[in-house]
Amino acid sequence: MAGWQIGLLWDKETIKCVEAQVNTPPEWGGVGFDWFNKTAAEVNVNDVYTGWLWGPGLENDYDGTRGRYFKAETFGPYGSGFMNTFNGSIPALTLTFQALQTGSSSLSLTDVEIGNGKATPIGYRVCDGIVEVGAP
C-alpha cells in the first residue's frame, strides 16, 4: 500500500465523533504531516515529512444531518516508490464516538480507495455498519 482515502458518514443527532487517530505505517516515516488547516508559521520548510495527509478530517456538522470524517494519506516524495510502500496489516484510522441520545445511526463508508506504489488500486471490500445507542 502506498496510499489510502476513507470517508465515513453518521447521524449527527445520535453520535458524535470525539477523536480521530490516523495510524501511519512505519515505512512511511512515522506520523504523517497534515496539509489541511495549517498556517505558514506551523510549517517548517526544513523538516522532511515522509507521510502526507490530505482532506478536512473531522466534520461533526457536515451537511445539517450527518457528521463526516474524510482523510487520505500517501507516502511522501522522499525515497523511491516501493521503498515506501507498506505490506502488512494496520488499522489506517481509529475513530472514537460519543453517544448523544438513544437511537441508531448508520456508519456509511464513502470514497474508499487503496493504492499501490504505481497508483494502481488494490482490491478491498467495503462493509457499512450500524450503531445502536440504548438507554443507560
pTM for the full predicted model? 0.83
Cell of 43: 510549517
Cα distance between residue 32 and residue 15, in whole Å: 27
Say which residues have a Cβ less than 8 Å from residue 47's Cβ, sequence separation at least 6: 33
- Give per-residue pLDDT as tens, 106-132: 999 999 999 887 878 998 888 999 999
Element (H or E) spanning 109, and its range? strand 103-115
Banded pLDDT at 80 (limits 50, 70, 90): very low
pLDDT (0 to 100) of residue 21: 92
Q: How many angstroms separate the CA atoms of 31 and 22, rounded?
A: 8
Distance between alpha carbon 49 and the CA centroid of its chain, in Å?
Answer: 17
Q: What angle do CA 91, 96, 100 make, to 5 degrees?
A: 155
Q: What is the pLDDT of residues 17-39, one digit of tens each?
A: 999 999 888 777 767 788 887 78
- For the chain, the domain total comes to 1
Look at residue 57 in the predicted model and tell me its pLDDT: 93
User: Domain limits at 73?
Assistant: 3-133
CATH (domain of 13): 2.60.40
